[in-house]
Amino acid sequence: MELTRDFFLDKKIIVYQPKKGYRFSIDAPILADYIKINDNNAVLLEIGGGCGIISLIISKTKKIKRIYIIEIQEIMVKAIKKNIEENKVNTLVKLVEGDFQNYPFKKKFDIIFSNPPYGAVGSGKIPDNESKALAKFEIKLSMEKLLANSYDLLREKGSLYLIYPYDRSEDLKKKAKEVGFFRKRERLVYAREGRKPVFYMVEFAKTKGKKVHSDSIILENENGKYTDEIEKILRGKNVYN
């Protein structure tokens, strides 16, 4: 499958991704921006990295020790390898080819994050394109398995960051609670003001806090243009690397 060579963050990042198949969209950069890192020595894990865009953004905008990306799709592995090399982040971003259902990691992580397959199998028509199918539906990784394995791999004071369609938010909260997670922060993502949320972003922790911090973000203004906050995210606010 052919890859395209694109640019992101005002050409601060080179992005190879499949010409046909799954290509990243707005949910990836807004999740990257939402992830909060308080320790420069933090070690992160991205589950199902796709082309690796979220890890690339983090490597350019936040001070961290290392990010591991686990990815199962051959075409995405190819893209991630090229993206790591061309963006010169070899010392920060490490690729692990494999299946998160049977993860190969022995270490624990400070932060785990994912923009996972959104759709439960049976909830819609599965695309003929394998790349799109695996990216959009829980064919290889269910929500339950994602949460359970993340819990096992997370340090006691670590955080798990996820983004899901808003209509799966209650299911996510319920299943996360069953695993042992507590909500620490959550953000509703609106396409436009006055409409129903389209995405739900959340930070889970292993210990219960005093309260859940909730806020929201709006993608577009009334003219159909990205809001100022989204423009800052897409242009790479706080890029230092």
187 forms beta bridges with: 201, 215
66: closest CA among 80, 47, 46? 46
Angle (nearest 5°) at CA 170 between 168 and 172: 65
Average the pLDDT over 47-74 and give the result.
Answer: 95
Cα–Cα–Cα angle for 226, 228, 232, rounded to 5 degrees: 100
Check residues 9 and 35 and name the one with the higher pLDDT.
35
| Average of per-residue pLDDT across 115-144 | 58
Q: What is the pLDDT of residue 6?
A: 94
Please tell me the distance from the alpha carbon of residue 141 to that of residue 94, in angstroms, as a whole number. Answer: 21
pLDDT band at 217 (very low <50, low <70, confident <90, very high): very high
Is pLDDT at 122 greater than 60 in this prediction? no
Phi/psi for 53 (5° steps) reads -60, -40
**In the predicted model, is pLDDT for residue 39 greater than 90?**
yes
In order of their start, the domains of the chain are: 3-235 (3.40.50.150)
48 in Cβ contact with 100 (< 8 Å): yes
- Which segment of 100-109, 128-137, 155-164 scores lowest on mean pLDDT? 128-137
- For the chain, give the mean pLDDT: 89
Look at residue 124 in the predicted model and tell me its pLDDT. 47
At 161-174, the pLDDT tens digits run 999 999 999 999 99
pLDDT at 136 over 80: no
Q: What is the pLDDT of residue 208?
A: 93
pLDDT band (50, 70, 90) for residue 127: very low
Q: How confident is the model at residue 121 (pLDDT cuts 50, 70, 90)?
A: very low
